[in-house]
Amino acid sequence: MADEINDMRVFAQMIEAGSLSAAARAADSSPAAMSRRLAALEHRLGVRLVTRTSRRFELTAEGAQFHERVLAILAAVDEAETEASAQSRTPRGLLRVGAPSEIGRKQIAPMITAFCERYRDVEVRLILSDIGLDVIDDNLDVAVRIGLPEDTGVVARKLLSSRRVVVGAPSYLTRHGTPRTAADLASHDCIRLVRGQRVFDRWRLLDDGRPRDILVSGRLSTANGEVLHDWARDGRGLALKALWDIEDDLRSGALIECLADYHCDEIDLYAVYASRRHLSPRIRAFLDFMADAFGKNVYV
């Protein structure tokens, strides 16, 4: 089809130029080359399109009809290309985003609201899950996740770095005391996170800059980060939470940081997507929008 379109363009240029010589000069070619292209086109169509003279050529009846159709086809092709090119630069269409439930509800959802205000032609579908969404298997355009993905076939863009902190509600600390050392955690009720069949009962703290995995236990565990957060706020036990999830509670005093001298290991938030190549404008715009929004927050 590309060859046929090119032949049509050359033919239209010939007719507009009025002669093979003029058409050749306009196309930086030679009259002989133009003549061969015209002859090949006529041979393929099985009809004479022009009557050649030494100085000019004139359209035959068949040539005039073909020329009229060619102009209409080329106009439609140019219009389609212009429209496709404009769409390739303008964010539009459905954007599927997945995120952990707590940060998804508190931070990603408001970002999406602001994003949709800016890009009116984008529709966003937000999926929240603490199971760990996969950008390929779950048919997502962007998956916001904690930590790097194991799949090396996807692209991960870091959005945010923070640290985890051990926290407790004032009511819990009043009843059970505040841990002073990492070893004190063994005597406390610690709310643990569950992922699949794994219970995260080892909390990593940095003691004099060296990581220590502290074995913890407690009566409550959950696969949902928001439930864990609520239990900690209700005084049901100590929790290990990312700063970005609890900053409001620390400011208000609803939760209090414990073991501040034992800085926990860092935690990174990533935006994961399938490929850098042919990234749609809506995905690229959303990635940049999130990076800009998260870039204004510092969690240390």
Does residue 129 form part of some domain? no
Q: At which of 89, 124, 145 does a domain end?
A: 89
Residue 246: inside a domain: yes
Q: Which DSSP string corresponds to 4-21? A: HHHHHHHHHHHHHHSSHH
Question: What's the rounded Cα separation, in Å, for the pair 1 and 62?
Answer: 21
Q: Could you read off the pLDDT of 219-270 as tens digits, one per residue?
A: 999 999 999 999 999 999 999 999 988 989 999 999 999 998 887 878 899 9
1-19 mean pLDDT:
78
Q: Is 210 part of any domain?
A: yes
Q: How confident is the model at residue 249, as a pLDDT?
A: 95
* Any domain includes 50: yes
Which bin fits 46, alpha (ψ -120 to 50), beta or left (φ > 0)?
A: left
With cut-offs at 50, 70 and 90, classify the pLDDT of residue 104: very high
Burial of residue 228 (number of CB atoms within 10 Å: 0-12, 13-18, 19+): buried
C-alpha span between 200 and 221 (Å, rounded): 9
Q: Is residue 156 part of a domain?
A: no
Kindly tell me if the per-residue pLDDT of 216 is higher than 80: yes
Is the C-alpha dihedral spanning 7, 8, 9, 12 positive or negative? positive
Q: Is residue 100 part of a domain?
A: no
Rounded mean pLDDT of the chain?
Answer: 86
Residue 78: which domain range? Answer: 2-89
Q: Look at phi and psi of residue 177 and say left if phi exceeds 0, alpha if psi is from -120 to 50, else beta.
A: left
Last residue within a domain, chosen from 89, 112, 135: 89
Q: Which of 43, 61, 89 is the last residue of a domain?
A: 89
CATH of the domain at 77: 1.10.10.10
Q: Is 100 exposed, middle or buried (0-12, 13-18, 19+ CB in 10 A)?
A: buried
Count of domains observed in the chain:
2
d(CA 230, CA 255): 11
CB 191 within 8 A of CB 201: no
* Domain presence at residue 297: no
Output 83 or 146, whichever has higher pLDDT. 146
| pLDDT at site 96 | 95
- Which 3 state secondary structure label does DSSP give 214? strand
**pLDDT for residue 252:** 96
Where does the pLDDT of residue 300 fall: very low under 50, low under 70, confident under 90, or very high at 90 and above?
very low
In a domain, 185, yes or no: yes
Domain harbouring 199, CATH code: 3.40.190.10
Q: Are residues 174 and 257 in the same domain?
A: yes
